[in-house]
Structure 1
Amino acid sequence: MSRLPIRAQSALLTSALIAVSVPSVAIAAGATATPTASGAGRVVVSSDFSGTALPSGFKAVDGTWQVKDGRLYGTSASSGQQSRITFGEHLNDFRVEATARFESALDSGRWAALGIDVPAGGAVPWSIATMRTGTTASNGLEFAQRTTSETWNVTDTGPAPTAAGTGKDVKIAVEVHGAQAVWFFDGKEALRTSKVVRSAAGVQGLLVNGATVSFDDLKVTELAARSYIRPAGAPLTVNGHRGAAAAAPENTLVSDEVARRGGAEFIENDVQPSKDGVPYVIHDSTVDRTTNGTGAVRSLTSAQLNALDAGSWFAPAYAGERIPTLAAQLRDLKTRGGDLLLEIKGAHTKAEVATIVDTIRANGMTGRVFVQSFEVDALRYTYELAPELPLALLRDKMDSDPVAISKELHLASYNPSDAGFSAKPGVIGALHAAGVAVTVWTVDTADRWKALEAAGVDGIITNRPAELSGWNAAFLQRTPAGL
């Protein structure tokens, strides 16, 4: 995409993720459900705790857990104890929900949590969505991970819309799609993250810390794979252009971090190979503009590219930033969170595309990479080599029939420029009817965000992801909650 003027800004704001409605499936009270078929809407666990014993499949790991009076009670005697119970099965896309009530707590900082990726035996690491008794505090809700070193990595915090306190039933739910998750509190979307650390076998669970908490109407439902089409009333998907190109040197790991902290759901970056065939994250065909070196990217070896300073051109504070390899970027995303909107920049051979695909697979990131390109051949090669990767076609001007080319190329999204889309906005209905999302680039002003949201666009690629995230947060405050 063509480069826009850069101005250094770095507001770090909170945004909201898309809510997804789930069909209801009735399961016998007090029982777990483990049908062999899988798919959206399948109820994996459902219990109203009407019996007198833990339901089948529930495993108390730590603390005291008992069923009485139609509820499941979990007790942790101290702030240093995380009482845990596990259930369910490993799922990539699911919703876990329950009615919860703090019966007592040592103080307003004590908490209960929905376990969203917890080893069945309770071993670390595990990922959770937490609520404190003081839910309206700035950290009343959290997404966090208990690490292998038995420390906390709290990735996201925010307040709930109302107080939980003690003695009050609140409905809590979390929807998870891979590393993405959204917290719902009493039916209202309250917090989101792109940093859930997932495992190969983690299941669901409940946790209690320094409190006694009772739970009712627990359900785990499998969801459809994440859709890129935005439901009515949901916010625009934030795609950070080259990371956060208005706030940090583009296509560097620090730019990715600024975008991530600013609320970007996807980090948009470019990839092309070095002379020795290593995929690097860089936009231009030469290194002249964004490094202290000169020459074509494809004429420089990986050793030469690794030696370049890719930050000083932007600001002295970024001196020493490097051009990351695709592998390094994927490792950073896997550890620190965020998904990748990866542009294959310029013409690539099938072998060069295969190297990109192999790198994505070797880093276990096929579920978190969306490939886009102006190059039709690059998309064809990607589909042949990795049909599981979602694809998007970049366009400066709209095709005469965007739906036809979307079907031909197996696109999940059609990604025109703002000017191109504005010349033909009526096509969005036909694209959506064909199951194809629309993401527009590169848009940095609130008036255009507003117009594109109203037109039904699904996502925006922007140099200012923090500002768009803030705009989204304000949008959600204006829009009735929909669950």
Structure 2
Amino acid sequence: MKTLIAHRGMSCLAPENTLSAFSLAKKYNIDWIECDVDILQDGTLVVSHDDTLDRCTDKHGKLHTLRAEDLRHIDAGSWFSDKYVNERIPTVHSLIQLANKIKLNLNIEIKSCTTGAYYTHKLIDGIIIALDELDERRELIVSSFNYLILHEIKKQRPKTKVACLFEAHTLYDDWKSIIEWCGAEYIHPENKELTENMIQKFKSENLKINVWTVNDLGRANELFNWGVDGIFTDIGHKFPSKYRNAQ
């Protein structure tokens, strides 16, 4: 099965990490979306890649200083297009409601949480509780560059499939030890500098392999021919229909 995963939703057609971007993935017959999850000052879990508001909203400052009631005053869409004026930063609760409603599978990337151990624990506890809302028929992967977080999530929710993320320059010889320590079923390596030999090493450990971020169809075909299971992409709508099999 060759799987397309809409990176931050259909992020080339709608503002990234918004409910509109996630809904568009389904419109283009893509079952899987990837999103990023972080935590606000009051413990609310939200979908956001950055820990600042500057790039993807009409406000400035740190994400972690916000409370849930602040979200309704933040425009997370007009930076992308006037069509998305007043798009909101989604909560994880609203994300899961949408996934259940339109039958989306989720790759939730837990951000490393730059505000310290206290909020990291609250982030882990919050995601554990939130995932109980997800329809059991939906597929789920929890990924992170923070292997301490993955280890703790696997310990508390052992049936949840987890994925270790690696940048090209951090994919050292200890990758296998990290995978085993986290109890990961998936490895998510960066597309950059990834070779067929590396793919075969991952496969020899019976790992599922999803590669980020692939926006070239020729490269995607090469990776699939090497045996990767999925790719994260910003341009899922440009892929042939054989890769887009929404149910």
- How does the TM-score come out when normalised to structure 2? 0.90
Q: How does 1:31-430 map to 2 (within 5 A)?
A: 236-347=2-113, 349-364=120-135, 368-397=139-168, 398-422=171-195, 425-430=196-201
Question: Does structure 1 conserve the Cα–Cα contact (< 8 Å) formed by 2:103 and 2:138?
Answer: no
Q: Which amino acid aligns with 2:177?
A: A
How far residue 471 of structure 1 moved from its aligned partner, in angstroms, is: 6.3
Matches of 1:308 and 1:291 in 2, distance apart? 7
Matches of 1:471 and 1:354 in 2, distance apart? 38
Matches of 1:379 and 1:294 in 2, distance apart? 30
In structure 1, the partner of 2:211 is 440
Matches of 2:131 and 2:137 in 1, distance apart? 6
How far residue 469 of structure 1 moved from its aligned partner, in angstroms, is: 4.8
How far residue 277 of structure 1 moved from its aligned partner, in angstroms, is: 0.6
Matches of 2:144 and 2:33 in 1, distance apart? 15
Question: Does structure 2 conserve the Cα–Cα contact (< 8 Å) formed by 1:442 and 1:460?
Answer: yes
Gaps of 5+ in 1: 1-17, 19-235, 474-483
In structure 2, the partner of 1:450 is 221
User: Once the two structures are superposed, what CA deviation does each residue of 1:83-118 show, in whole Å capped at 9, x if it has no partner?
Assistant: xxxxxxxxxxxxxxxxxxxxxxxxxxxxxxxxxxxx
Question: Does structure 1 conserve the Cα–Cα contact (< 8 Å) formed by 2:189 and 2:210?
Answer: yes
Question: Does structure 1 conserve the Cα–Cα contact (< 8 Å) formed by 2:37 and 2:111?
Answer: yes
Change (3 A) 1:420 1:279: farther
SS at match of 2:239: helix
In structure 2, the partner of 1:93 is none
How far residue 259 of structure 1 moved from its aligned partner, in angstroms, is: 1.0
Matches of 1:365 and 1:321 in 2, distance apart? 28
In structure 2, the partner of 1:56 is none
Question: Does structure 1 conserve the Cα–Cα contact (< 8 Å) formed by 2:147 and 2:178?
Answer: no
In structure 1, the partner of 2:116 is none
Matches of 2:239 and 2:39 in 1, distance apart? 31
Matches of 1:346 and 1:266 in 2, distance apart? 22
Of Structure 1 and Structure 2, which has the larger fraction of its residues in helix?
2
SS at match of 2:192: helix
> Relative CO higher for 1 or 2, CA cutoff 8 Å, sep ≥ 6?
2
**Which of 429-438 and 319-328 deviates more?**
429-438
User: Once the two structures are superposed, what CA deviation does each residue of 1:408-444 show, in whole Å capped at 9, x if it has no partner?
Assistant: 211111001111423xx31322322322111110111
Gaps of 5+ in 2: 114-118
Matches of 2:201 and 2:137 in 1, distance apart? 28
In structure 2, the partner of 1:470 is 241
Question: Does structure 2 conserve the Cα–Cα contact (< 8 Å) formed by 1:394 and 1:414?
Answer: yes
Matches of 1:366 and 1:413 in 2, distance apart? 20
SS at match of 1:324: coil
Matches of 2:121 and 2:207 in 1, distance apart? 25
User: Once the two structures are superposed, what CA deviation does each residue of 1:237-267 show, in whole Å capped at 9, x if it has no partner?
Assistant: 1100000111111011110011112122211
Q: Give aligned-pair identity as a percent.
A: 29
How far residue 449 of structure 1 moved from its aligned partner, in angstroms, is: 0.8
Counterpart of 1:459 (choices 220, 230, 237) is 230
Q: CA RMSD in A?
A: 1.8
Question: Does structure 1 conserve the Cα–Cα contact (< 8 Å) formed by 2:96 and 2:133?
Answer: no
Matches of 1:296 and 1:305 in 2, distance apart? 13
Q: Which amino acid aligns with 1:295?
A: G
SS at match of 2:222: helix
Change (3 A) 1:450 1:362: closer
Question: Does structure 1 conserve the Cα–Cα contact (< 8 Å) formed by 2:104 and 2:138?
Answer: no
